[in-house]
Amino acid sequence: MVSELTCLPIRFNFKTFLYRLAVNRVYIKTYGCQMNERDSEAVAVMLRNRGYSIVGSEHDADIVLLNTCSVRDQAEQKAIGKAGYLTNRKKKDPNFIVGIMGCMAQNQGSDLLDKLPDLDLIVGTQKFHRVPDHLDNIIQTLEGQGPQPAKLVDLEEEADSQNTIREHIEEDASVTSFVSIMQGCNMRCNFCIVPKTRGNERSRPIEHIVEEVEELVANGTREVTLLGQIVTSYGRNILPFKNKKSPFVQLIERVHEIEGLHRIRFTSPHPRGFKQDLIDAYAYLPKLSPYVHLPLQSGSDRMLKAMNRPYRVESYMKIVDGLRASAPDMAFSTDIIVGYPGETDEDFQETAQVFKQVGFNMGFIFKYSPRSGTVAAELEDDIPKEVKEARNHELLKVLEEQSMHSNQKLVGTTQEILVEGPARKGENMFMGRNPQFRKVIFPASERLVGELVQVKILESSVTTLKGELVLEGVEQNEPLLTV
Ligand code: SAH
Ligand code: F3S
Question: Which of 39, 103, 191, 226 best tests ligand 1's pocket when mutated (most atoms within 8 Å of CB)?
Answer: 191
The pocket around ligand 2, CB under 6 angstroms, is made up of: 185, 187, 189, 192, 194-195, 229-230, 270
- Of the candidates 451, 444, 456, 429, the residue with the CA atom closest to the CA atom of residue 482: 444
181 and 131 in contact (C-beta within 8 Å)? no
Question: Which of 189, 272, 298, 304 best tests ligand 2's pocket when mutated (most atoms within 8 Å of CB)?
Answer: 189
Task: Give the Cα separation of 323 and 321 in Å (integer).
Answer: 5
**Atom from ligand 1 closest to the CA of residue 370:** 22
What is the dihedral sign for C-alpha 188, 189, 190, 196? negative
Instruction: Decide: helix, strand or coil at residue 408.
Output: helix
From the CA of 157, how far away is ligand 2's center (Å)?
A: 19
**Ligand located closest to 182 CA:** 1
From the CA of 78, how far away is ligand 1's center (Å)?
A: 17
From the CA of 431, how far away is ligand 1's center (Å)?
A: 29
Task: Give the Cα separation of 368 and 472 in Å (integer).
Answer: 50
Within 8 A by CB and 6+ apart from 380, the residues are: 341
Q: Which pLDDT does position 173 carry in this prediction?
A: 74
470 and 483 in contact (C-beta within 8 Å)? no
Task: Give the Cα separation of 265 and 39 in Å (integer).
Answer: 18
262 and 213 in contact (C-beta within 8 Å)? no
Instruction: Decide: helix, strand or coil at residue 415.
Output: strand
- Of the candidates 318, 314, 241, 310, the residue with the CA atom closest to the CA atom of residue 279: 318
Q: Is 268 in the pocket of ligand 1 (CB under 6 A)?
A: yes
Task: Give the Cα separation of 307 and 190 in Å (integer).
Answer: 5
pTM: 0.92
Q: Is 298 in the pocket of ligand 1 (CB under 6 A)?
A: no
- Per-residue pLDDT of 140-199, as tens digits, reads 888 887 666 655 899 999 889 999 998 888 776 799 999 999 999 999 999 999 999 999
Instruction: Please determine, looking at this structure, whether the domain spanning 3-154 carries the CATH number 1.10.4190.10.
Output: no
Query: For the chain, what percent of residues have pLDDT higher than 70?
Result: 91
At 407, the pLDDT band (50, 70, 90 cuts) reads very high
Kindly report the number of other CB atoms within 10 A of residue 405's CB atom.
13
In angstroms, what CA-CA distances link 431 with 43, 266, 418, 426, 440?
28, 21, 9, 11, 6
**Atom from ligand 2 closest to the CA of residue 309:** 2
Nearest protein CA to atom 12 of ligand 1, as residue = 335
CA 419 to chain centre: 21
From the CA of 407, how far away is ligand 2's center (Å)?
A: 31
Question: Which of 227, 229, 231 best tests ligand 2's pocket when mutated (most atoms within 8 Å of CB)?
Answer: 229
Secondary structure of the chain: what % helix, strand, coil (to 5)?
40, 20, 40
Nearest protein CA to atom 7 of ligand 2, as residue = 187
Q: Is 192 in the pocket of ligand 1 (CB under 6 A)?
A: yes
DSSP character for 480? P
231 and 271 in contact (C-beta within 8 Å)? no
Task: Give the Cα separation of 263 and 268 in Å (integer).
Answer: 16
- Per-residue pLDDT of 296-327, as tens digits, reads 999 999 999 999 999 999 999 999 999 999 99
CA 473 to chain centre: 39
- Per-residue pLDDT of 216-272, as tens digits, reads 999 999 999 999 999 999 999 889 999 999 999 999 999 999 999 999 999 999 999
Check pLDDT > 80 for residue 3. no
Q: Is 335 in the pocket of ligand 1 (CB under 6 A)?
A: yes
Say if residue 114 is exposed, middle or buried (CB neighbours under 10 Å; 0-12, 13-18, 19+): exposed
- Per-residue pLDDT of 412-444, as tens digits, reads 999 999 999 999 999 999 999 999 999 999 999
DSSP character for 146? S
**Ligand located closest to 308 CA:** 2
Task: Give the Cα separation of 303 and 190 in Å (integer).
Answer: 11
Amino acid making up residue 388:
K
123 and 101 in contact (C-beta within 8 Å)? yes
From the CA of 102, how far away is ligand 1's center (Å)?
A: 16
Where do the structural domains in the chain lie, given as residue ranges? 3-154, 161-408, 414-469
Question: Which of 71, 183, 230 best tests ligand 1's pocket when mutated (most atoms within 8 Å of CB)?
Answer: 71
From the CA of 194, how far away is ligand 2's center (Å)?
A: 6
DSSP letters, 196-239, are: HHH-S-EEPPHHHHHHHHHHHHHTT--EEEEE-TTGGGTTTTT-
Q: Which pLDDT does position 44 carry in this prediction?
A: 97
- Per-residue pLDDT of 372-395, as tens digits, reads 999 999 999 999 999 999 999 999
| CATH homologous superfamily for the domain 161-408 | tm_1862 like domain (3.80.30.20)
From the CA of 192, how far away is ligand 1's center (Å)?
A: 6
Kindly report the number of other CB atoms within 10 A of residue 317's CB atom.
16
Give the phi and the psi of residue 296 in degrees, each rounded to 5.
-100, -40
- Of the candidates 184, 204, 183, the residue with the CA atom closest to the CA atom of residue 195: 184
**Atom from ligand 2 closest to the CA of residue 185:** 3
DSSP letters, 235-262, are: TTTT---BTTB-HHHHHHHHHHT-TT--
**Atom from ligand 1 closest to the CA of residue 35:** 7
From the CA of 133, how far away is ligand 2's center (Å)?
A: 32
Q: Which pLDDT does position 16 carry in this prediction?
A: 47
From the CA of 193, how far away is ligand 2's center (Å)?
A: 8
Give the phi and the psi of residue 14 in degrees, each rounded to 5.
-60, -40
CATH no. for 414-469: 2.40.50
Q: Is 366 in the pocket of ligand 1 (CB under 6 A)?
A: yes
From the CA of 197, how far away is ligand 1's center (Å)?
A: 13
Q: What is the mean pLDDT of residues 335-353?
A: 98
Task: Give the Cα separation of 79 and 120 in Å (integer).
Answer: 15
Q: Can you point out the beta strands (E) in 41-114?
A: 53-54, 63-68, 97-102
Within 8 A by CB and 6+ apart from 119, the residues are: 83, 87, 98, 99, 100, 112, 113, 152
Amino acid making up residue 110:
S
